[in-house]
């Protein structure tokens, strides 16, 4: 099949060549010349013999030249064919000189045309000059045969006509040749453009496949896993990595290849000092390291050489005009990356950057939604708790008041005092609950007021401890109050904080288990520690208990709104201090209030 196609292409190329066409014309001219000789009369036997000899020579030469024409591109063949054609035409011109007014001398113009067609304007002129001796010989023979004078003007006219013909045909041939070359150049340019378009199409197709892999998941690890699998088929590598610049360091987010989980694995933090990423961040351009063995330019390259990687391409991850990291591809062979692979790596850097930005945005939105859901759930729990906390004391107050109203005369004085005490306690509880809600609203609105002055913290803590000992006797309170310097603060707000901490400790402490209160000065700050021996708080709930409505979902949860510790921390921070907790499940809890002395 291939040989047949080759032969077909050869025949088509030969058929379109100039010499092949002239061979066909020459072959057709042989019977025409024979016909003309047969129709011509008045020819002597000697001339007729010469005539048939010329016809036979033309026929044999036409067949022979046709057999050896090949693709007609050989200059030697063209010279041989030109000599044969000039000889045949010249022979016929001289043969027919015996006819008065014979037009055969015009055959010389055919020779001029052939010379110009074959060899351009120069070939036409040389052929025209070669025709002058033939024309002169023709005129000499004609004058001898007809006993007329020699007409030099016939010779000069023939020569001038030939030169003019040579110039015209030669110019046309030159023009056609110029156009042919222009078309050939355009064809070459078109092939180059076609190849470039094909290369670009392949490049875009490869990038499209990688883009689909990157968008296959909103999980960063899954997206880059699919991307790496696609990349391996497009740009074979020994080692690849995707690194982001975060908080002044380089963080590896994806690797593949030799010892990917051991050397600079995902999650590893690298210094930006003398790191290739720092160079890429500064330049925002792709960096090609042809052979790292000849020169170590960056600190991480020694580890790559130990893995057998000698050349690598690092393209920036561009999010718009900002570089956020790089994608690096390495191979064992030096200088092994082609221009197309370098360009594709640069393009993939932009795609990878977009994916990182999109997934980060998605993660941020997801966290925001989860936080909003959590806050919404906390608010719902708060409404439920507040409703319950309000309903219980109000029911108790209403019930006690109704009893006093309807049975006052029937009740003993002690019973009346008990009901009145119940009304007082529940009213106080309601006031505290409403006070917490109002305080929280003021803190959110920024209208929570303070009256700062000099505060004796030791006396304040001692007073709160004494009050709690009087108010309840089930839980003992052990205090260790060292003398502390006075601080600047709001006495009532600090009392609210200290009371809240001690009340919480008493609420969660088992019966007869003491609550420890310790006051000391540490590093220029007054530090109050309140420790209970209750159920403790899980590590993951340490931040939750200081949030609005934050309550631990444990089996030993006591009634409350979850606002006390939020208010306490807000007051501590307003004084320039902190409120922290140290606890674990089953080990009790220690709350530490730290207040600056200055």
Task: Report how far residue 19's alpha carbon sits from residue 30's, in angstroms, rounded to the nearest whole number.
Answer: 17
Place of tokens 């709350």: 591
% of the chain exceeding 90 in pLDDT = 15
Task: Report how far residue 367's alpha carbon sits from residue 44's, in angstroms, rounded to the nearest whole number.
Answer: 117
Side-chain-side CA neighbours of residue 253 (13 Å): 25
User: Lowest-confidence range among 128-137, 163-172, 243-252, 377-386?
Assistant: 377-386
Q: What are the domain boundaries of the chain?
A: 2-187, 220-365, 397-445, 453-596
- The pLDDT of residue 595 is above 70: yes
Whether the CB-CB separation of 62 and 27 falls below 8 Å is answered with yes
Provide the greatest CA pair distance for the chain.
Answer: 181
Which token pair is 230?
């696609």
Mean pLDDT of 116-125: 90
- The pLDDT of residue 300 is above 70: yes
Side-chain-side CA neighbours of residue 399 (13 Å): 9
Whether the CB-CB separation of 121 and 173 falls below 8 Å is answered with yes
Which token pair is 8?
């077909």
Per-residue model confidence (pLDDT) at position 88 = 92
Tell me the pLDDT tens digit for each residue of 474-493.
Answer: 788 888 888 888 889 989 88
Q: What is the pTM of this model?
A: 0.44
Per-residue model confidence (pLDDT) at position 380 = 67
Mean pLDDT of 105-110: 87
pLDDT, averaged across the chain: 82
Mean pLDDT of 517-528: 89
Whether the CB-CB separation of 265 and 255 falls below 8 Å is answered with yes
Per-residue model confidence (pLDDT) at position 167 = 92
Closest CA to 592 of 535, 484, 520, 489: 520
Decide which of 3.40.50.1100, 2.40.50.140, 2.60.40.10, 3.30.565.10 is the CATH code for 453-596. Answer: 3.30.565.10
- The pLDDT of residue 521 is above 50: yes
Tell me the pLDDT tens digit for each residue of 312-334.
Answer: 999 888 887 788 888 889 999 99
Decide which of 3.30.450.40, 3.40.960.10, 3.40.50.620, 3.10.50.40 is the CATH code for 220-365. Answer: 3.30.450.40
Residue 560 phi/psi, 5-degree rounding, is 160, 170
- Split at pLDDT 50, 70, 90, the class of 557 is low
Tell me the pLDDT tens digit for each residue of 383-398.
Answer: 666 665 666 677 777 8
- The pLDDT of residue 10 is above 50: no
Per-residue model confidence (pLDDT) at position 551 = 66
């Amino acid at each position: 099949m291939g040989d047949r196609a080759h032969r077909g292409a050869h025949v088509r190329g030969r058929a379109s060549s100039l010499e092949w066409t002239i061979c066909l014309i020459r072959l057709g001219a042989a019977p025409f010349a024979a016909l003309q000789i047969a129709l011509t009369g008045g020819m002597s036997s000697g001339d007729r013999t010469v005539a048939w000899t010329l016809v036979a020579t033309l026929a044999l030469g036409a067949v022979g030249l046709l057999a050896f024409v090949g693709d007609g591109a050989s200059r030697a063949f063209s010279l041989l064919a030109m000599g044969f054609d000039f000889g045949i035409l010249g022979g016929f011109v001289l043969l027919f000189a015996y006819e008065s007014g014979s037009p055969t001398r015009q055959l010389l113009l055919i020779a001029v045309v052939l010379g110009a067609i074959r060899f351009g304007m120069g070939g036409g002129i040389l052929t025209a000059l070669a025709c002058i001796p033939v024309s002169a010989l023709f005129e000499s023979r004609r004058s001898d045969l007809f006993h007329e004078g020699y007409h030099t003007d016939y010779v000069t006219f023939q020569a001038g006509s030939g030169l003019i013909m040579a110039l015209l045909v030669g110019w046309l041939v030159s023009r056609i040749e110029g156009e042919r070359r222009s078309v050939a150049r355009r064809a070459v340019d078109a092939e180059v453009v076609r190849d470039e378009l094909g290369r670009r199409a392949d490049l875009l197709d490869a990038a499209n496949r990688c883009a689909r892999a990157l968008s296959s998941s909103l999980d960063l690890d899954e997206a880059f896993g699919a991307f790496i699998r696609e990349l391996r088929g497009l740009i074979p590598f020994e080692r690849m990595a995707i690194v982001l610049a975060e908080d002044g360091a380089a963080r590896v987010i994806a690797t593949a290849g030799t010892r990917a989980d051991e050397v600079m694995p995902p999650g590893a933090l690298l210094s930006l000092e003398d790191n290739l990423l720092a160079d890429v961040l500064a330049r925002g351009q792709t960096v090609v390291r042809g052979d790292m063995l000849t020169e170590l330019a960056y600190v991480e390259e020694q580890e790559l050489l130990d893995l057998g990687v000698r050349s690598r391409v690092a393209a920036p991850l561009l999010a718009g005009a900002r570089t956020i990291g790089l994608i690096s591809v390495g191979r064992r062979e030096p200088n092994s990356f082609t221009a197309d692979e370098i360009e594709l790596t640069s393009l993939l850097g932009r795609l990878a950057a977009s994916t990182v930005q999109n997934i980060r945005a998605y993660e941020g939105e997801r966290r925001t939604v989860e936080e909003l859901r959590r806050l919404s759930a906390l608010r719902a729990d708060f409404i439920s708790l507040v409703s319950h906390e309000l309903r219980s004391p109000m029911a108790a107050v209403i019930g006690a008041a109704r009893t006093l109203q309807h049975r006052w005369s029937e009740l003993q004085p002690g019973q009346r005092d008990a009901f009145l005490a119940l009304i007082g306690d529940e009213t106080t509880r309601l006031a505290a609950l409403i006070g917490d809600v109002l305080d929280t609203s003021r803190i959110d609105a920024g209208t929570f007021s303070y009256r700062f002055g000099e505060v004796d913290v030791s006396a304040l803590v001692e007073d709160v401890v004494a009050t709690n000992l009087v108010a309840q006797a089930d839980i003992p309170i052990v205090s260790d109050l060292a003398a502390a310097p006075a601080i600047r603060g709001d006495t009532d707000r600090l009392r609210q904080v200290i009371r809240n901490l001690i009340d919480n400790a008493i609420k969660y402490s088992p019966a007869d288990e003491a609550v420890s209160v310790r006051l000391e000065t540490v590093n220029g700050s007054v530090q109050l520690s309140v420790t209970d021996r209750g159920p403790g708080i899980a590590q993951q709930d340490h931040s939750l208990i200081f949030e609005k409505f934050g309550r631990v979902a444990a089996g030993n949860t006591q009634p409350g709104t979850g606002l006390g510790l939020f208010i306490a921390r807000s007051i501590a921070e307003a004084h320039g201090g902190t409120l922290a907790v140290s606890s674990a499940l089953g080990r009790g809890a220690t709350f530490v209030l730290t207040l600056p002395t200055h």
